[in-house]
Amino acid sequence: MQIPTDVKNLISEFERCGYSMYVVGGYVRDMLLGKSGGDIDLASSAQPAQAEAVLKNAGVSFVETGLKHGTITAVINHTPYEITTFRSDGEYSDSRHPESVAFIKDINADLARRDFTINAMAYNEAAGVIDLFGGQEDLKRGIIRAVGDADMRFKEDALRIMRALRFASQLGFRLDDETAAAALANKELLNNISAERIFVELVKILMGKNVLFVLSEYREIFGVIIPELRPCFDCAQNNPWHIYDVYSHIAHAVAASPKKPVIRLAMLFHDIGKPLVKTTDERGIDHFKTHAEKSADIAQRILERFKAPNAIKDEAVALVKYHQTLEKVDDIRPKRWLNKIGYEYTADLFEVRIADLKAHNPEKIGYEVQKINGLRQSLAQIVAAGEAFRISDLAVDGNDLIALGYHGREIGERLNEILSLVVDDKLPNTREDILNFLNK
Ligand code: ATP
Ligand code: MG
């Protein structure tokens, strides 16, 4: 184990003043996995006021970040370290918050309140790794196991169900049988947890390397936090393009996409409306006309419910809505697209479509992928050549229109009209040509 010198010194300082202090939680886990980086959380027997006194004495600056729970953040060489007083949690009445916390002298009970064995280890140089619950063994075996009685721990705090899936996805681990059974049995308690906190964990799950396994194995849990997914479970897609039901296709498409939150969210929602528009023709072939628009509406609703940041919501919804437009690659005018949804969106839209195709029948996708790669190239060329597709790319701006006597909304309308002509190659993007056109 290697911990930074600043942390070693801080621990020595606390010990000199008669307190114990350890690195705890995620940092210990990640060190044992051979991963570096990440925030360092510290736990100490010093109560908040005592910890403040030690820090003041040592000339270390700090902020009080959660005094009620005994948390102070020390800042050393611009790096923040959270210091939390050893505590045991009191009774939980709402699957969310303990009624009280009690500060304690000993690290053992503090480790016992932590969620999973791999997160319940402590370290300092004198003591080495303190591992009371077999965390190191579980790390070796790739197991997420609740500390203590899994059923009780999820009843205390249902967010731990999401955290279990999150660590499984990030680390490529499996849930221990008892932990898995308890997570499934208590899944409805997730309805007590705030949407924002669930969303944070959901995004982390989607970004994890083991997301396909987690989405597939624990789909019932995803059906609680996103009930709109339920109709996708086992919804057959009987046509030559598909080899999976709608939900399995979604899970494969998420896993096949680049690790960018907005793209992974778009993949999760891209076909969510399919069950609602499914028709079967006389030959028994399934069709899903207008499913992209339908899915976009549902995605909008879900992301609003999760209180997702607007930028994420707007782009994810757009990606869902347009995810099929690339089918008609031959009719598409690349610049129109750039104009309509911007370069960033357009580049992401390619990723969405390629991930979508990868989750189709592999025998059917070669031609499509080729077309899309071709179009992707021509878009990159347009951008590299500096061709106009945004208002800001035009050779004139609002001031020119004001000088010509336009005002208010007219200015934007005229600029859009000009851009439209330029994008369609009907008007060259030079100052002279545009001013001539406006003077006509
Ligand atoms: P990350 O690397 O993502 O920060 P982490 O394990 O450090 O992972 P945090 O959310 O930062 O996760 O929490 C720090 C530690 O606090 C955890 O390792 C765990 O010991 C404990 N912890 C956090 N949330 C809970 C919870 N809901 N129930 C019990 N213990 C928790
Ligand atoms: Mg952490």
Q: Which of 41, 86, 131 to mutate to test ligand 1, by most ligand atoms within 8 A of the CB atom?
A: 41
- State whether the beta carbon of 25 lies less than 6 angstroms from ligand 1: yes
Give the Å distance between the CA of 25 and the centre of ligand 1.
6
Nearest atom, ligand 1, residue 160 CA: 27
Q: How much distance in Å is there from the Cα of 111 to the middle of ligand 1? A: 11
Residue-level pLDDT at 98: 65
Burial class (CB in 10 A: 0-12, 13-18, 19+), 350: middle
Q: How many CA atoms are closer than 13 Å to the CA of 183, on its beta-carbon side? A: 28
d(CA 201, CA 181): 20
Give the pTM.
0.89
Which 8-state DSSP code applies to residue 352? Answer: H
Residue among 106, 148, 121 nearest 1 (CA): 121
Kindly report the protein residue whose alpha carbon is nearest to atom 22 of ligand 1. 114
Cβ-Cβ contacts under 8 Å for 174 (sequence gap 6 or more): 142, 143, 144, 168, 180, 213
- Count other C-beta atoms under 10 Å from residue 236's C-beta: 12
Residue 347 confidence (pLDDT)? 86
Q: Is the CB of 38 under 6 A from ligand 1?
A: yes
Burial label for 146, CB within 10 Å (0-12, 13-18, 19+), is buried
Ligand 1 pocket check for 156: Cβ under 6 Å: no
CA distance 433 to 84: 67
Q: What is the pLDDT of residue 342?
A: 77
The continuous run of DSSP H or E covering 150 comes out as helix 150-156
Beta bridge partners of 121: 131
Is 41 close to ligand 1, i.e. is its CB under 6 Å away? yes
To test the pocket of ligand 1, the residue of 39, 94, 115, 121 to mutate (highest count of ligand atoms within 8 Å of its CB) is 115
Question: Does ligand 1 come within 6 angstroms of the Cβ of 148?
Answer: no
Amino acid of residue 214: V
DSSP 301-318: HHHHHTT--HHHHHHHHH
Q: What tens-digit pLDDT sequence spans the chain (440 residues)?
A: 789 999 999 999 999 999 999 999 999 999 999 998 789 999 999 999 999 999 999 999 999 887 777 789 999 999 999 999 999 876 665 666 666 677 778 899 999 999 999 999 999 999 999 999 999 999 999 999 999 999 999 999 999 999 999 999 999 999 999 999 999 999 999 999 999 999 999 999 999 999 999 999 999 999 999 999 999 999 999 999 899 999 999 999 999 999 999 999 999 999 999 999 999 999 999 999 999 999 999 999 999 999 999 999 999 999 999 898 765 545 557 777 777 777 788 889 889 999 999 999 988 888 888 888 888 888 888 888 888 888 999 999 999 999 999 999 999 999 999 999 998 889 999 999 999 999 88
The pLDDT of residue 329: 47
